[in-house]
Copies of this chain bind each other. A is one copy, B any other.
Amino acid sequence: MTKTKLRLPDRKVKVTLRDVALHADVSESTVSRIMRDEGLVAEATREKVMESVRALGYVPNRIAGSLASLDSHLLGVVVPSLSNIVFPEVLQGINAGLRGSRYQAVISVSDYEMDHEEALVRGILAWQPKAILITGFDHTLATRRMLDQSGVRVVEMMEIDSAPIDIAVGMSHRKAGYAAGRHLIERGYRRFGYVGHDWTSDRRARQRYDGLSEALSEAGLSIIAHAIADGPSAIGAGKRQTAVLRSMADVDVAVFSNDDMAVGGIFHCMEAGVSVPDQLAIFGFNGLEIGRELPRPLSTIRSNRFLIGQKSIEAILQSTERPTIKTTIDTGFEIFPGATA
């Protein structure tokens, strides 16, 4: 038996930069430069090396790379949910903004639990991201402190009614609620009902409600009946709570916490033979596709979810160092008159 050093030769041996360097008979740094196409390299050398790369099936190890360069090229993203379609839409905007850049988003879902969010943020920071995009202003104290002290860029998405840690990108939900109120008052509605879902986890719905109340109050009006579902927003919940609302008071318009709930309201009216908007007007929030395609387009407020994601990325890429001044970016909203109110 020859004196060969024992190795584990089989398939699973991961091939490293060094293996490529040996195979191509150049130094590791040359291979490194080529893999990152940075610095000058002779065309002949490059080809020789790339051949070795292919031959060995080399895949660079970004973990080692990030450690050495102290730059992970990672962005952390935290959203509360994926079942509410608005958040996937924000993610699409993020994705679109990231195309072509060398950054990579790492998405986490908090399920509307602030403690879980805290754990997620801690876990994300451990990956040394260049930035964190998080939903809203509601975080535990520890989360806020971690984000602040991390020194990385922080975008708080969806709303702009508070002071951000670094950057806020979104719209004023309070103003949206107010605008809805003004709009409906001008259209002659006076007997307002409200159909909503659990506010404890969705403070922005609450803010819209507050804005609505303010507009009504200024006009000497108020919301005369409320029907609130326990759980998250959903079509079925909207349907059931609309029935509840109608049994409570004779309202001429129902304002919903969002389009999902409002679509449920429409379906209830269809089933109950209630004419919309003559007997009951319906107003939502978000501007989802389903609302637009209903036989009678849903009256609602369009929020620009995709734009929020996109602008967030733009803001970060503009400068990956956190400046001393805080930024707020208003992506606006727009009343969509529709035909249900």
Contact = CB atoms under 8 A, between A and B. Distances in A.
Contact of A290 (B59, B149, B290): B290
Interface in A283-317: 289-290, 292-295
B63 A127 contact: yes
A217 interface: no
A57 to B, nearest CB: 6
A257 to B, nearest CB: 16
B295 A126 contact: no
Contact of A92 (B82, B107, B108, B236): B82
Nearest to A62: B126
A95 B67 CA distance: 27
A335 interface: no
A157 to B, nearest CB: 15
A279 interface: no
A261 B126 CA distance: 43
A60 B126 contact: yes
Interface stretch (A38-46, A198-206, A264-272): A264-272
A91 interface: yes
A237 to B, nearest CB: 9
Q: Is the interface of A mostly helix, strand, loop or mixed?
A: helix
A270 B270 CA distance: 11
A151 B109 contact: no
A234 B293 CA distance: 10
A63 B59 contact: no
A7 interface: no
Interface in A62-84: 62-67, 72, 82-83
A151 B95 contact: no
B11 A289 contact: no
B263 A127 contact: no
18 contacts: A59-B126, A61-B67, A62-B127, A62-B128, A64-B67, A82-B89, A82-B92, A82-B95, A83-B85, A83-B92, A88-B88, A91-B109, A104-B123, A106-B106, A234-B289, A236-B289, A236-B292, A267-B293
Given A82-B89, A271-B295, 11 more contacts: A59-B126, A59-B150, A60-B126, A63-B67, A82-B88, A83-B89, A83-B92, A88-B88, A236-B292, A264-B293, A267-B293
